Amino acid sequence: MTLKQKIYHHYLRLISDKVNALQQVLADLKESGANETKSTAGDKHETALAMLQIEQANTRAQLKELLDQKAVLEKINPLLSPSVVVNGSLIKTSHGWLYLSTALGKAMVENITVTALSPQSPLGIKLMGLSVSGVAEINNNRYIIESIS
């Protein structure tokens, strides 16, 4: 398995784990809500129920965002190795490794620190379409592309 495939699978597993955790939180909140409806403590009961509903809405929003990110990641073919930067490219730059996919932050894979960033991010936009030796400049930092896979 190539480094790019390992990175792809790492981020896919990371998102899947987060999705599973949020689904469990929603299930727990639903159970708590069911228990709250059995209570008849007046204003205190109404407040607790309202707080549970707010928490459920926030958790659903987080879950939707993660599922959207997972869908973007699943559209990437980690076996492709284009000569220019496209969505799904693993890019070695003068500032480290970047994985153009979706904004998932930093990860350590095979003792290499990789930052997953979105093609819509300011740096992602500047990198798109560049080839080896291409330069993207942002915030007075020059990112020189050393390799693309």
Q: What pLDDT score was predicted for residue 40? A: 55
pLDDT in tens, 80-94: 989 999 999 999 999
- Tell me the three-class secondary structure of the chain, residue by residue: CCHHHHHHHHHHHHHHHHHHHHHHHHHHHHHHHHHHHHCCCCHHHHHHHHHHHHHHHHHHHHHHHHHHHHHHHHCCCCCCCCCECCCCCEEEECCEEEEECCCCEEEEECCEEEEEECCCCHHHHHHCCCECCCEEEECCEEEEEEEEC
Q: What pLDDT score was predicted for residue 39? A: 56
pTM of the model: 0.85
Q: What pLDDT score was predicted for residue 47? A: 79
Mean pLDDT lowest among 20-29, 46-55, 108-117 = 46-55
Can you tell me the mean pLDDT for 23-48? 74
Q: Where are the domains of the chain?
A: 3-74, 90-148
Q: What pLDDT score was predicted for residue 51? A: 86
Query: Which of 45, 49, 52, 116 lies closest to 87 in space, CA to CA?
Result: 116
